[in-house]
C-alpha cells in the first residue's frame, strides 16, 4: 500500500464537473416569467443532493420541505402548510452543522417572503401567478422590446437596411445602441444553454454600419396638436421621433449647445464616435422635429436670469409636455478640500469634452475617485488627453466595481492604475488653494450588505497620500430638481415622481421619463421611456396611432444548431488607441456577421414562439 497517491478525478467526476458547467449556463439562461415556487422547489432539490447526509435537519428536513412545497404546487396544501414550511426552514437554518443545509433552507425562507403571493395563489386558487408573457428572452429583457430575433434573421438574410428599419420600429437610436448599449438582451439568451449568448450588440453594429441610407416611415397626417419635449437626450428625442411620426407637432428644448444628452456629454467619443451620434440625430430630426438648443426652462424668468422660457409658458403653448431632462448634476463627497482648484466633476469634464472644449491634462498626474462606468470614462479620457499618470481610487475591490468588467480591463490595458480598498478622506491643497494630493484611508473588505455587495471597513493601516495635479470626482449624478415643486412637479427621492405610463400624478398633460425619473440609468431605458411616453401622450391627446413596419421577417423552418463559439468584437491595440479619441472597438467582418447571425436559435419561432407569438408587429 502506497503511503500517498496523486489525486486524479474519476471519469464520473469529470463528467459531473462538465454538467455543473452546463447547469450554470442553463440557470443563466432562465427566461423571465417562470413559476418562482417551482424554481425554488427544484433549487432546493439540487441543494438536497449536495447534502453529505450527516445531520438531521439537512438530510431529512430539506426532503420534507421539498414534499411540502410540492404539495403547494399540486394544490394540496393549506395555509397551515405555509406555516410548517416557514418553521421547518427556520429550524434548518438555525440547526444544521454546515453551510449546505443552512443556505438551502435560507433560499426557501427568502422565497416565502419574496414571492408570498405566488405561494398563496397556488394554495388558494390552485394556479400560478407566473406566466411566460413574452416567450422570447432577449425581447422580454430589452426595455424597448426591440424585435431582436427579427433583425438578426434579417442580418442573416443580408437585409441590413430592413434590420435597421425593424429596430427603428421600437428604438429610433439603432446606431447609439449598436455602439454603447449595455445589452440586457444578451443576459438570458437561450443560446447560453448551448455555448455563449448571441453577440446581439455586435450584430446590430454590423447592420447599422452596412445598411446605407435607411429612410424613416412617413408621418401620419397632421393632428394639429403641439407637444413640447424638454431635454434633447435619448429619451426626449425618442418621444419626439415617435410623436412626430404620429402626426403631432413636436418642439424640443435643449439646455446644451448640442443635442444628444449623455450620449454626447457623458459618453466619450472613443466609445461612441461624434460623427455617428450626429448621423443618428440627423436621422431622428429628419422626420420634422423643431429644435431649440441653448434654452433653459425654469420657473420664473423675472427672478432667474438663466431662465429663457418658463414652464407656465410651455403649458400655455403646448397640448402636452414631456420632461426628459436627465440626471446631470454631480454628487459631492463632502470631504475636506473638495472645493480646491484643480478638483472637477466627471459631468463637468465629460461635458467640456462633449463640446470639444478639451481640458488641459498634458503631463499631469490625474486621480479619479469612483468605480463606475463614468469613472472609467473619465480615466480613459484622461489618458487620451495626455495625462502622465492616471489613478483610479476606489473604496472596495476591483471585482466590486460597478463598471462593466471590460471597461475596467480596457482602462488597465491603457495604463490606468487601480488603487482599490482606498477610501478618500480629504484633499490636500497648497497655499494657492490648488489640490496637490488625495489622502486615503486603506480599507479591508467586510461583510455583505443587503444587495450582497461586501462593505469596506477601516483597515488597521495608516493613511495614504496620493500625489495629484488634478482630481476628478466620478461618484454619481443626480437630477436638477431645483424649483420643480413650485411648478407643481412632485419630487420623490431626488427624482421626478411619474407613473409607469410616464404621466405625472397631476395628470394634466405633463409626462416625464428617462434618467430624471429613474436616476442615472442606461440609454436603452431612457429610450424605452420615450417610447412609452409617446404612446401615452398620443392617447392623452385623443388618438391611437400605431407604430408599425412593413418589414417581413423570414420564417425559420430548420432547427439544427450544433454548439459554436461566439464571435466577439476586437479592440484596437491599447498602445495605439490610448493616444486618440477614435473608436476603440472594431466591427464584425461580413463573414463573422454571417456566422454569428446564424447562431440565433430563433426563439420567436421555436419553442413557445410559434405558439403564443414571438413578435409584436405594432404598438
Partner 1 sequence: MVNQKLVTLTIDGQQVSVPAGTTILDAAKTVSIKIPTLCYLREVNEIAACRICVVEVEGLDRLVPACTTLVREGMAVRTNSDRVKRTRRVNLRLILSQHDANCPLCIRNGNCTLQELARDNNLIYNPYPKNIPNKPWSISNYIIRDESKCVKCMRCIQVCDKVQTMGIWDVVGTGSRTTVGISLNRTLAESDCALCGQCVTHCPVGALRGRDDTQQVYAAIKNPEITTIVQVAPAVRSAWAEHLGLSPEEATPGRMVSALRRLGFDYIFDTNFTADLTIMEEGSEFLERFTHRDQYAWPMFTSCCPGWVRFIKGQYPQFVDNLSTAKSPQQMFGAVAKSYFAEKMGLDPHKICVVSVMPCTAKKSECAQPNQNDACGDPDVDIVITTRELERMLRGDNVDTTTLPESEFDSPLGTGTGAAVIFGATGGVMDAALRSAYYLVTGSNPDADAFTAVRGMDGWKEATFAIPGAGDVKVAVVSGLGNTRRLMEAINKGLVEYDFVEVMACPGGCAGGGGQPIHDGAELAQCRGDILWELDKNAPIRFSHENPDVQALYAEYLEKPLGHKSHHLLHTDHHGWEMPLNPKLK
In the range 65-84, which residues lie near partner 1 by CB under 8 A? Answer: 73, 75
In the range 547-606, which residues lie near partner 1 by CB under 8 A? Answer: 557-560, 562
> Binding segment for partner 1 among 98-106, 121-129, 225-233, 475-483 (CB under 8 A)?
121-129
Minimum Å gap between C-beta 602 and partner 1 is 12
| Per-residue x/- track, 34-53, partner 1 (CB under 8 A) | xx--x---------------
Residues in CB range of 59: below 8 A, 6 or more apart:
51, 53
Minimum Å gap between C-beta 130 and partner 1 is 6
- Secondary structure of residue 494 in the 3-state scheme: coil
Minimum Å gap between C-beta 618 and partner 1 is 15
Residues in the chain: 619
Cα angle 153, 157, 161 (rounded to 5 degrees) comes to 85
Tell whether residue 269 is a contact of partner 1 (CB under 8 A). no
Minimum Å gap between C-beta 24 and partner 1 is 19
Nearer to partner 1, 107 or 459 (CB): 107
Nearer to partner 1, 481 or 606 (CB): 606
The neighbour count for residue 104, using CB atoms within 10 Å, is: 27
Instruction: Return the C-alpha torsion angle 206, 170, 240, 290, nearest 10.
Output: 40
Q: Using alpha carbons, select from 580, 569, 567 the residue that is nearest to residue 414.
A: 580
Quick one: which of 25, 33, 425, 566 contacts partner 1 (CB under 8 A)? Answer: 33
Nearer to partner 1, 159 or 271 (CB): 159
Minimum Å gap between C-beta 68 and partner 1 is 16
Cα angle 92, 98, 104 (rounded to 5 degrees) comes to 50
Tell me the Ramachandran region of residue 334: left when phi exceeds 0, alpha when psi lies from -120 to 50, beta otherwise.
Answer: left
Nearer to partner 1, 166 or 240 (CB): 166
Residues that contact partner 1, how many (by CB under 8 A): 21
Nearer to partner 1, 75 or 565 (CB): 75
Cα angle 148, 179, 536 (rounded to 5 degrees) comes to 55
Tell whether residue 131 is a contact of partner 1 (CB under 8 A). yes
Q: Helices in 79-136 by DSSP H: which ranges?
A: 79-95, 99-114, 116-124
φ, ψ dihedrals at 104, nearest 5°: -65, -45
| Per-residue x/- track, 145-184, partner 1 (CB under 8 A) | ----------------------------------------
Rounded distance between C-alpha atoms, residue 391 and residue 404, angstroms: 18
The cell numbers describing 531, all together, are 417610447
Nearer to partner 1, 114 or 505 (CB): 114
Alpha carbon of residue 432 to chain centroid: 42
Nearer to partner 1, 295 or 606 (CB): 606
Minimum Å gap between C-beta 352 and partner 1 is 52
Quick one: which of 79, 282, 300, 611 contacts partner 1 (CB under 8 A)? Answer: 611
Q: How far is CA 508 from each of CA 224, 270, 434, 513, 541, rounded to the nearest angstrom? A: 19, 42, 50, 15, 11
Which residues would be at the binding site for partner 1 (CB under 8 A)? 33-35, 38, 73, 75, 125-128, 130-132, 557-560, 562, 610-612
Amino acid at each position: 500500500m502506497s503511503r500517498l497517491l496523486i489525486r486524479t478525478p474519476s471519469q464520473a467526476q469529470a463528467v459531473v464537473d462538465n454538467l455543473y458547467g452546463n447547469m450554470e449556463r442553463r440557470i443563466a439562461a432562465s427566461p423571465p416569467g417562470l413559476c418562482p415556487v417551482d424554481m425554488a422547489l427544484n433549487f432546493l432539490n439540487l441543494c438536497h443532493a449536495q447534502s453529505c447526509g450527516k445531520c438531521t435537519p439537512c438530510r431529512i428536513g430539506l426532503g420534507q420541505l421539498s414534499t411540502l412545497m410540492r404539495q403547494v404546487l399540486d394544490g394540496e396544501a393549506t395555509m397551515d402548510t405555509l406555516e410548517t414550511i416557514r418553521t421547518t426552514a427556520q429550524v434548518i437554518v438555525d440547526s444544521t452543522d454546515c453551510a449546505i443545509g443552512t443556505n438551502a433552507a435560507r433560499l426557501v425562507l427568502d422565497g416565502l417572503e419574496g414571492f408570498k403571493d405566488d405561494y398563496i395563489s397556488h394554495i388558494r386558487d390552485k394556479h400560478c401567478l407566473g406566466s411566460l408573457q413574452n416567450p422570447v428572452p432577449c425581447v422580454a429583457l430589452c426595455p424597448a422590446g426591440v424585435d431582436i430575433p427579427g433583425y438578426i434573421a434579417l442580418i442573416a438574410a443580408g437585409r441590413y437596411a430592413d434590420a435597421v428599419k425593424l429596430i427603428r420600429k421600437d428604438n429610433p437610436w439603432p446606431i447609439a445602441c449598436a455602439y454603447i448599449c449595455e445589452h440586457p438582451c444578451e443576459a438570458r439568451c437561450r443560446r447560453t444553454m448551448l455555448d455563449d449568448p448571441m453577440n446581439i450588440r455586435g450584430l446590430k453594429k454590423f447592420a447599422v454600419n452596412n445598411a446605407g441610407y435607411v429612410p424613416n416611415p412617413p408621418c401620419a397626417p397632421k393632428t394639429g396638436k403641439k407637444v413640447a419635449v424638454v431635454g434633447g437626450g435619448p429619451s426626449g428625442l425618442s418621444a419626439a421621433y415617435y410623436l412626430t411620426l404620429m402626426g403631432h407637432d413636436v418642439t424640443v428644448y435643449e439646455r446644451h449647445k448640442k443635442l444628444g444628452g449623455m450620449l454626447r456629454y457623458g459618453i466619450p467619443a472613443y466609445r461612441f464616435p461624434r460623427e455617428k451620434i450626429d448621423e443618428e440625430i440627423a436621422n431622428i430630426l429628419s422626420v420634422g422635429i423643431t429644435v431649440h438648443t441653448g434654452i433653459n426652462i425654469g420657473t420664473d424668468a423675472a427672478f432667474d436670469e438663466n431662465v429663457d422660457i418658463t414652464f407656465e409658458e410651455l403649458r400655455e403653448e403646448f397640448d402636452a409636455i414631456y420632461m426628459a431632462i436627465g440626471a446631470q448634476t454631480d454628487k459631492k463627497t463632502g470631504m475636506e478640500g473638495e472645493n480646491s482648484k484643480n478638483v472637477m466633476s466627471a459631468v463637468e469634464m465629460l461635458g467640456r469634452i462633449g463640446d470639444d472644449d478639451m481640458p488641459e491634462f498634458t503631463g499631469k498626474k490625474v486621480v479619479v475617485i469612483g468605480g463606475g462606468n463614468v469613472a472609467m470614462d473619465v480615466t480613459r479620457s484622461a489618458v487620451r488627453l495626455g495625462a502622465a499618470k492616471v489613478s483610479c481610487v476606489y473604496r472596495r475591490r476591483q471585482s466590486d466595481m460597478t463598471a462593466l468588467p471590460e471597461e475596467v480591463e480596457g482602462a488597465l490595458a491603457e495604463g490606468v492604475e487601480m488603487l482599490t480598498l482606498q477610501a478618500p478622506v480629504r484633499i490636500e491643497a497648497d497655499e494657492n488653494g490648488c489640490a496637490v494630493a488625495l489622502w486615503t484611508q486603506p480599507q479591508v473588505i467586510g461583510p455583505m450588505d443587503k444587495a450582497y455587495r461586501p462593505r469596506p471597513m477601516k483597515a488597521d493601516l495608516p493613511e495614504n497620500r496620493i500625489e495629484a495635479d488634478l482630481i476628478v470626482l466620478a461618484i454619481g449624478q443626480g437630477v436638477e430638481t431645483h424649483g420643480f415643486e413650485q411648478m407643481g412637479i412632485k419630487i420623490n427621492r431626488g427624482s421626478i415622481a411619474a407613473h409607469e405610463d410616464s404621466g405625472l400624478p397631476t395628470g394634466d398633460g405633463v409626462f416625464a421619463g428617462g434618467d430624471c425619473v429613474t436616476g442615472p440609468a442606461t440609454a436603452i431605458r431612457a429610450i424605452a421611456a420615450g417610447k412609452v411616453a409617446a404612446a401615452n401622450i398620443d392617447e392623452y391627446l385623443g388618438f391611437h396611432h400605431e407604430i408599425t413596419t412593413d418589414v417581413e421577417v423570414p420564417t425559420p423552418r430548420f432547427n439544427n444548431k450544433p454548439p459554436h463559439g461566439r464571435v466577439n468584437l476586437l479592440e484596437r491595440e491599447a498602445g495605439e488607441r490610448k493616444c486618440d479619441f477614435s473608436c476603440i472597438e472594431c466591427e464584425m467582418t461580413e463573414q463573422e456577421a454571417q456566422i454569428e447571425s446564424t447562431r440565433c436559435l430563433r426563439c420567436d419561432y421555436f419553442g413557445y414562439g410559434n405558439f403564443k407569438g414571438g413578435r409584436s408587429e405594432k404598438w
